[in-house]
């Protein structure tokens, strides 16, 4: 086994959880009736209360499974493996000569082009789940292009996305009138008003792996195009930086009802 192959295998083993494995889930629920019997006043005030709630906590899904297996790998370079050159991403005689796609690297449009995992600047370990910043879930600096005619890894490890958290609470009071009663009910969905961080279709580049060639080294020297350019704005919502999910969604919803049973 060659040295490069051994290194790639060690990198793969560190985050080799399968994409089809489900995330951890926690769903505690409570249902608690309250009843007093010390006095008539306390009975009317404290009896027939019902408090119920449910909380959902789930770790993030695998981004390869829920978005795209190759993270929508794309981009341009000044030259391809076949020696075609181009200027500013477009060749004079072939507008597709330096496009990063399966045809120019694998020689066929029938196989999805996959990126490779590699150590490098911004990713010394070669593990895309390390060295993360606020709201960052995948380190794009850990990816590169495979050699000509060789595809990258199909399984890039478990690239965990944002987690899910939600908690609902319901309070109900029953007031009896002989054989009849009135039910007062108040329910709050996401009663903690906890926002959820998520990738959004409004900012598609956050989940799209794009490369460019700043040093005119061709396909072999591409680097992440939509990464942190040193301005520390990738954690903001709508930054369009790869691997960052700064978009927040979710709100508290209240529901109040009165029901007369006869």
Name the residue range of residue 55's domain. Answer: 3-261
| DSSP-H helix ranges across 196-257 | none
Compute the average pLDDT of residues 46-74.
88
Sign of CA dihedral 11, 15, 19, 20: positive
CA–CA distance, 103 with 152 (Å, rounded to integer): 14
Closest CA to 244 of 205, 202, 194, 186: 205
Q: Which tens digits make up the pLDDT trace of 95-143?
A: 556 888 898 889 899 999 999 998 888 889 889 999 888 889 999 999 9
CB 87 within 8 A of CB 80: no
User: Which are the contacts of 136, defined by CB distance < 8 A and separation ≥ 6?
Assistant: 234, 235, 241, 243, 244
Is a pLDDT exceeding 50 seen at residue 60? yes
Sign of CA dihedral 251, 68, 60, 142: negative
Most confident of 12-16, 42-46, 159-163: 159-163
Task: Report the pLDDT value the prediction gives residue 10, as an integer from 0 to 100.
Answer: 46
The tally of domains found in the chain comes to 1
Closest CA to 235 of 119, 137, 116, 126: 137
């Amino acid at each position: 086994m060659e040295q490069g192959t051994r290194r790639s295998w060690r990198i793969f083993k560190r985050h080799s959880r399968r994409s089809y494995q489900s995330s951890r889930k926690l769903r505690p629920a409570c249902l608690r009736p309250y009843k007093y019997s010390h006095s008539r006043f306390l009975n009317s005030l404290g009896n027939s209360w019902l408090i119920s709630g449910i909380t959902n906590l789930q770790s993030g899904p695998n981004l390869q499974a829920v978005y795209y297996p190759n993270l929508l790998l794309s981009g341009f370079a000044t030259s391809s493996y076949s020696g075609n050159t181009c200027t500013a991403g477009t060749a004079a005689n072939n507008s597709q000569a330096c496009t990063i796609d399966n045809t120019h690297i694998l020689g066929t449009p029938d196989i999805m082009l996959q990126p490779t995992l590699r150590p490098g600047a911004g990713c010394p370990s070669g593990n895309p789940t390390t060295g993360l910043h606020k709201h960052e879930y995948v380190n794009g600096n850990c990816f590169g292009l495979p050699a000509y005619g060789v595809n990258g890894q199909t399984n890039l490890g478990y690239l965990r996305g944002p987690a899910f958290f939600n908690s609902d609470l319901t309070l109900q009071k029953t007031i009896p009138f002989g054989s009849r009663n009135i039910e007062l009910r108040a329910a709050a969905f996401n009663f903690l008003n906890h926002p959820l961080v998520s990738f959004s279709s409004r900012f598609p580049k956050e989940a799209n792996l794009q490369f460019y060639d700043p040093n005119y080294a061709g396909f072999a020297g591409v680097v992440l195009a939509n990464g942190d350019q040193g301005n520390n704005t990738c954690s903001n919502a709508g930054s369009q930086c790869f691997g960052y999910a700064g978009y927040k969604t979710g709100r508290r919803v209240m529901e109040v009802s009165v029901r007369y049973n006869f």
